[in-house]
Structure 1
């Protein structure tokens, strides 16, 4: 390689490093939001501590479960695309407690950093050290799983990183679990199989039967629909000709498939993510041996097919962890099948508790259309990320928008501009199956879907 070639290569490498450093700096500038959420599960079990962390700019997040001491763990994997850390170690079935924490995260493969980050935090904080060969190993062990929350559902690729995971771990508290679109479930969705594309989240449930305690936690990002005990679909943006939510049954969607996927059946509109996952944790205080705990994991995971239909497809990465804290070993212990039945019902409750209130489409008000001069002030190129820019034009008393770059911006595509309909002087919408609100209230910024799932673009 000649001098000129080496110089050119070095220059490209320097640019790549600089670009990576800038991207990392942008991620490092994000501020963790810890233990957010108004809807919580409150339960009396000091052994279980839960911490959540979120980057609202994503939005995306992480949920960390830690225990008062090392516990026995097992894992059951059903989905066709799981993303895990250390899960295979639990399959070995060693009959002594080694597990310190279970970590759930968004961010797809990049979110797996969260699990190892909690391990290093345990060491850095002096809770664990590096000794793995004593009679009672003191080296930290965490397991973790991720959901896919990139792609069409959001307009950037911010991920839950080491800093966020360690902050969530250190903020963990006993007996409180945020539910809905919080933590690892911050931008989860369900029902993409049928075009429902409803917002989802994380859910928890708790039950005590005599001396036996059972807690279930799950992040529902399923390709299938969430189904209640009466067989009704819980969350869905239905097609125009579909039965109303409350009378729509998952059995109807399943039996009508593939017609329920086609446009002729008022099927999916827009892009639906085909990378989905439900990650779950069942915890019992009853002492169990590895074989019993493994069978509990399999029984509960199998039962989840009642609440999520379809379940464990090739496009799902379903993983369930089971933990025994071994706090109770008395005469009132339940046999494994009975405990599995009770735990399965608690998990169904947790799945139902994961569903947030769905945003509704704003009403168009033609009289609210601003004058031409005001519209002109809203025009410009709004940058959401390196992948998405939205070009807004004001022409002929109308406001139009078109996406540029590598990805559409929801109903605002790259092929052609769409007209924005007024809701108020600074707020517009694009009518369609899925609610889309565009807010220009802050000068120089365009906010898609202001509120819990907002995405912000800055005019350049």
Structure 2
């Protein structure tokens, strides 16, 4: 009897495609799990990505009012070369406490940097400002971070008012009272060479959200009739933007199964920010703390430019999905509600 040979190359590609196209979110990237926890009364929450076997990580901070933790160690000049989790949270700087809960969870699993007498889980974090939404005293804490980590898994998870997107809003260029609901979104793409790229984002921007394929404004600052007006129009008419610095911020993660160094991962995070520029206008303002992390979990040999180009595309798609899946809450209508009203007018 003839011995069976190795699977054909096309069969391998088809197998990969069948595995990763099931979810169309960042957990399609091997090794990544996502968990969400939120307070739907206080309207805040956190989103946790776990990488139990570790991943190379880079970061790019573009906004002028960031709230971050453990980003200095991601500098390519510094020692630690792998992270075990990422925590995205609401609550402004208070929400950074949620990352401690993720560390507690990972320590219980024995996951982290081995320091001889135990492990120290490496969990960089970034936060967004959602205090004016719901109860300003409700903030992600260690317990919430632990619960989000406990729920982390590969597979589908809800977009919109979930996790770090629970209290996210957009279109605040004319003040919070004219804003709309933002949210959490994720997307992924898979390619015949085995490369998988995913993105996850919590959209909480000062600016409006535009469909990058059509140019349509799908969420933004509303006038007295509830109709969305261009952010540029508002900025030209107002002597100053009626917000305090740091009261917005879009935060997210792009991930791939490529083999990267810390420097290369940071470059991909930088290129991925183009996805925000395509969908958020204006972006990276003095009122935003926009921060994107980049993870590499595999050994697929591809160029940095290829991964960075795709990462920007996938991040742009995740932004649109975050806003389109958001549900309106008191004072902050959803994109679906406002655009339906506009069509009827």
**How high is the TM-score relative to the length of structure 1?**
0.61
Among residues 337, 341, 345, which one is paired with 2:305 in the alignment? 337
**Counterpart secondary structure, 1:127:** coil
How far apart, in 2, do the equivalents of 1:116 and 1:328 lie?
32
Higher helix proportion, which one?
Answer: 2
Indicate conservation of the 8 Å contact 2:197/2:254, yes or no: yes
Residues 182-193 of structure 1 mapped to structure 2, 5 A cutoff: 182-193=162-173
**Counterpart secondary structure, 2:130:** coil
The aligned counterpart of 2:199 is 216
Among residues 133, 136, 142, which one is paired with 1:162 in the alignment? 142
**Counterpart secondary structure, 1:296:** helix
Structure 1: gaps spanning 5 or more residues: 1-38, 362-409, 411-433, 436-460
Residues 299-378 of structure 1 mapped to structure 2, 5 A cutoff: 299-329=271-301, 333=302, 335-355=303-323, 356-357=325-326, 359=328
Indicate conservation of the 8 Å contact 1:192/1:273, yes or no: no
Residues 162-241 of structure 1 mapped to structure 2, 5 A cutoff: 162-195=142-175, 196-210=178-192, 211-229=194-212, 230-236=214-220, 238-240=222-224
TM-superposed CA distance for 1:233, in Å, is 1.2
Among residues 226, 236, 246, which one is paired with 1:258 in the alignment? 236
Aligned length, in residue pairs? 305
Q: Which has the larger radius of gyration?
A: 1
Residues 25-424 of structure 1 mapped to structure 2, 5 A cutoff: 41=25, 44-93=28-77, 97-128=81-112, 131-132=114-115, 138-151=119-132, 153-195=133-175, 196-210=178-192, 211-229=194-212, 230-236=214-220, 238-240=222-224, 252-254=230-232, 257-259=235-237, 261=238, 275-329=247-301, 333=302, 335-355=303-323, 356-357=325-326, 359=328
Indicate conservation of the 8 Å contact 1:179/1:201, yes or no: yes
The aligned counterpart of 2:338 is none
1:104-133 per-residue CA deviation (whole Å, 9 max, x = no partner) reads: 11111111011122112211333347x336
The aligned counterpart of 1:439 is none
How far apart, in 1, do the equivalents of 2:257 and 2:79 lie?
16
TM-superposed CA distance for 1:295, in Å, is 1.1
TM-superposed CA distance for 1:314, in Å, is 1.1
Indicate conservation of the 8 Å contact 1:77/1:320, yes or no: yes
**How high is the TM-score relative to the length of structure 2?**
0.79
How far apart, in 2, do the equivalents of 1:65 and 1:186 lie?
16
Indicate conservation of the 8 Å contact 1:99/1:142, yes or no: yes
How far apart, in 1, do the equivalents of 2:135 and 2:80 lie?
45
Residue 358 to residue 51, structure 1, CA distance change in 2 (3 Å)? closer
1:386-417 per-residue CA deviation (whole Å, 9 max, x = no partner) reads: xxxxxxxxxxxxxxxxxxxxxxxx7xxxxxxx
**Counterpart secondary structure, 1:350:** helix
TM-superposed CA distance for 1:81, in Å, is 1.0
**Counterpart secondary structure, 1:176:** coil
Indicate conservation of the 8 Å contact 2:260/2:296, yes or no: yes
The aligned counterpart of 1:414 is none
How far apart, in 2, do the equivalents of 1:93 and 1:121 lie?
28
**Counterpart secondary structure, 2:28:** coil
RMSD of aligned Cα (Å): 2.9
Structure 2: gaps spanning 5 or more residues: 1-22, 334-345
Residue 43 to residue 297, structure 1, CA distance change in 2 (3 Å)? closer
